[in-house]
Amino acid sequence: MVPRLFPFFRHALVGVRRAVVQALQTFAEMADPVSKSETSSDPVLVSDAGASWISSECLWLVLQNLVLETDTGILEASAKLWHTLLKRVRVDTVLRPLDIEQMFTLAATPLGTALPPALLRRNGSASSRHNVDAAMIQQDLGLLSRETVLQCRVAAGVALGRLCALWPVPSRAQVFGIVLERGLKSGWALQTQLAAVVVEECAMAERIEASGSFNATDSLAHMVWSGEFSEPALMNSLRSSVLEVVGSASSFHDMRGAMQHARAECHGLHEIAGVRDALPEPFTLAAAQYAIGAGFEPVLLAAAKNAKTALIERRSRAQAAVDTCAALEQQYVVGVRASAAGAAIALGQLPAKLNALLRAVMAAIRSEESKVLQLRAGVAAARMAALCYCVEGPHRASAADKMVGNLSALVCADAWTTPVFADRKQSDTILMLDVVQHEQSDAQMATAAA
């Protein structure tokens, strides 16, 4: 009966999609969780007969739901369903190594690039007249916000991290290690971020399991757990890779389109000036900034008077293109480094020098536009403080004190939310009464103007 529900996963109606997920959640909870093998020293999971309907196709459709679903309620329900399903089967008997690689490829498709059609499960969709996923599949950022896409991708990354933690130890490094190492070194911002998210979630899933911290009241236990992971060699290798990303991530293939546009504008600037195009290859952001900055001044001085106006106008266009590239690079660098820092912190052993981790996490908390990524950075900061205070020893407490102080200053930066009383020493009015009066005055002025 369960396979008959599959065509309705991506139905046009939200209520139908929600009902499918809820029905599968009910079926999954009816089956007993798998148990550990009593005949092996390795915690291999044994499949439960009541969960025989949980197939590769079922897991693929749930993961695809995480990548495609824009409704937050269904997305959260799909994440819960995924976690329940993984607890009911021996995952290496249902999924192949190729499935893991393809799942990561689908989840880590660069923003703005259409999702690979070969990796999407159509499964005889019951809604052929209207494709509810068209915008998400085509990655049309004119119809979808970056935040919505990132919310889905991060949810998929979290799901793959939990799958990694449940994969049998003997083959975990071979199956996940290669995929994650390749993702961390791919040069694509989203692939690197998603690989870091998978590492972080795998580490935290193991920590929660090992520390026995399943209650919200005992949430600190898994943060300060200092035992060994079930696959220490893999985790040590991944720790080195994520720390390398934290310290060196600076340019990404995702910027290729913006850089091509900036190069065309700089080339057009040279053409108007009558200068032979001497733009360097590869064309970098630094080269673009030089072309419209220090490199532009002698060109402008040497230009004829009647050409200077056109040059200045063209420089303004080039400046806008270069500024867009700089903003994109900053956005990617902040997001990637913060994700890698979160993974490094989750792995538990902090490096000798914490400056890179501190800068990465604080930069994301301060300037990350995505609430999803900003929240993850905040959680990483809390974990780092817990490690410094409770595990690493007194010599690390000063670093945590500095971070907490910076966070406090950031929280208090909005003078309307947390007023700076030092600036109001000479005021005789009640502060909040003054605020209300200002707001009422502004509202009256707006009404009068209308």
Which tens digits make up the pLDDT trace of 295-317? Answer: 888 878 777 777 788 888 888 99
**pLDDT, average across residues 22-33:** 86
- What is the rounded distance in angstroms from the CA atom of residue 288 to the CA atom of residue 278? 12
- What is the rounded distance in angstroms from the CA atom of residue 122 to the CA atom of residue 61? 9
Q: For 20-34, 75-89, 325-339, which range has the lowest pLDDT when averaged over its residues? A: 20-34
Write the pLDDT tens digit of every residue in 109-119: 999 899 999 99
From the number of C-beta atoms within 10 Å of its C-beta (0-12, 13-18, 19+), residue 340 rates as: buried
**pLDDT, average across residues 272-276:** 74
125 and 137 in contact (C-beta within 8 Å)?
no
Residue 218 has pLDDT above 70, yes or no: no
336 and 192 in contact (C-beta within 8 Å)?
yes
Residue 107 one-letter amino acid:
A
109 and 139 in contact (C-beta within 8 Å)?
yes
Q: Which residues pair with 35 in a beta bridge?
A: 46
- Which comes out higher in pLDDT, residue 230 or 363? 363
- Which comes out higher in pLDDT, residue 120 or 221? 120
pLDDT band for position 45 (cuts 50, 70, 90): very low
> What is the DSSP secondary structure assignment for residue 425, as one 8-state letter?
T
> What is the DSSP secondary structure assignment for residue 357, as one 8-state letter?
H
> Of 102, 122, 115, 85, nearest to 7 (Cα)?
122
Task: Look at the chain and count its residues.
Answer: 450
Quickly list DSSP for 244-271: HHHHH----GGGHHHHHHHHHHHHHHHH
> In the chain, what percentage of residues exceed pLDDT 90?
48
- Which comes out higher in pLDDT, residue 304 or 125? 304
Q: For 386-395, 403-412, 426-435, which range has the lowest pLDDT when averaged over its residues? A: 426-435
pLDDT band for position 321 (cuts 50, 70, 90): very high
- What is the rounded distance in angstroms from the CA atom of residue 193 to the CA atom of residue 340? 7
Average pLDDT for the chain: 84
Residue 42 has pLDDT above 60, yes or no: no
- What is the rounded distance in angstroms from the CA atom of residue 158 to the CA atom of residue 283? 36
**The pLDDT value given to residue 212:** 60
**The pLDDT value given to residue 39:** 33
Residue 220 has pLDDT above 50, yes or no: yes
Residue 227 has pLDDT above 80, yes or no: no
